[in-house]
Amino acid sequence: MPTTIRRHGAAGSIAPDLVLAGHVTENEARSIVHEIPGSQDVVVTLRPAGPATGMMRMLFMDQAAAEAARLFHLTAHAFTVETDMPFLPAAYVPRGNIRKAQQDAVARWVLEVPYQEVRV
């Protein structure tokens, strides 16, 4: 099944030629450890972990498709992902710097979108 990315609540979608492997997802642990001065004991404030963050790397076979995907991600929307790849988020918002780069002297382009997973 190909991967399709849609704007949540708006028209438009993109379909990268490939979502690249090497995916890393992180969740910030939000529990707080309080050290007690003069003691080896600690007091812990337990809090749930934050939402997943990561980097989605998409391959496009030409510059025009990669540029369209870059511009697509510059809009103020949440995005939903339809795919059979379980490591991709169901919905996300871009965060940080979106990067488009040509692969070594070939006509393929990689778009890197750092994201935070959201509920829509």
Outline where the chain has alpha helix (H).
63-73
Report the CATH number at residue 61.
2.40.30
What is the token pair recorded at 110? 């990689």
Tens digits of pLDDT across the chain (120 residues): 689 999 998 999 999 999 987 778 899 999 999 999 999 999 999 999 999 999 999 999 999 999 999 999 999 999 999 998 888 889 999 999 999 999 877 789 999 999 999 998
Residue 119 host element (H or E): none
Instruction: State the pTM of this model.
Output: 0.84
Residue 18 host element (H or E): strand 18-19
Q: Which structural domain range is residue 58 located in? A: 4-117
Count of domains observed in the chain: 1
Predicted local confidence at residue 1, as pLDDT? 67
Predicted local confidence at residue 85, as pLDDT? 84
The whole-angstrom separation of Cα 99 and Cα 110 is: 8
